[in-house]
Amino acid sequence: MNEGSTQPPPDTATHAPVDASATISPGLTHFDSAGQAHMVDVGDKAMTRRIAVATGSIAMLPETLALISGGNAKKGDVLGIARIAAIQAAKRTSELIPLCHPLALTRVAADFLLDNDLPGVHCTVRAETTGQTGVEMEALTAVQIGLLTIYDMCKAVDRGMTIGNVRVLEKQGGKSGSWSAP
């Protein structure tokens, strides 16, 4: 016990282990039978072509969008740099998300659409691999980092930008097959 502490140390001999099955959904694959986080074993999964498409948006002042579209941002080509950042983020997803498998990506494409009605920018990323696990996390990470890069490059003129509506639009491949957002 620490000096000055009023709490006795827990008596592990009198505490029963936590029943993970009572608290963890059987559909959550990143927990073992004891409720401990673990990396999913994909060793027995079939190698298939896997594709994921994710999207998100950053809303901003009309003047900020005009700077981006006119190529007049002080830090340079905002969308070009955001595209490279998104691709780099997809490649490094397993370093950022603790239980993601490192993947050999075969393609990452990041597209940006300027939207005067928002006003802002929409980012869509398509990530592809041939492997034993999906690429949804890589596509989602790429979208968020691409949008954060836009924020970083434009924050000097617009600190009120908001990033949102980040989601998976579709996935293909693997045992569960294809899925598209409604």
In tens, the pLDDT along 57-89 reads: 999 999 999 999 998 777 789 999 999 999 999
Instruction: Report the percent of the chain where pLDDT is more than 90.
Output: 63
Question: pLDDT: is 26 or 138 the higher one?
Answer: 138
Q: pLDDT averaged over the chain?
A: 84
Q: Please provide residue 108's backbone torsions phi and psi, each rounded to the nearest 5 degrees.
A: -140, 120
Quote the CA–CA distance of 22 and 147 in Å, as a whole number: 39
* Closest to 55 (Cα-Cα) out of 147, 173, 118: 147
Q: Which two tokens stand for residue 121?
A: 């920018």
Choice among 111, 115, 152, 158 that is catalytic: 152
Average pLDDT over residues 33-55: 76
Cβ-Cβ contacts under 8 Å for 45 (sequence gap 6 or more) = 132, 133, 174, 175
* Closest to 123 (Cα-Cα) out of 78, 75, 66: 78
In angstroms, what CA-CA distances link 126 with 28, 46, 138, 139, 169?
Answer: 25, 21, 9, 6, 10
Told to judge if 44 belongs to the known catalytic residues of this protein, a careful annotator would answer: no
pLDDT digits (tens, 9 = 90+) for 109-119: 999 999 999 99
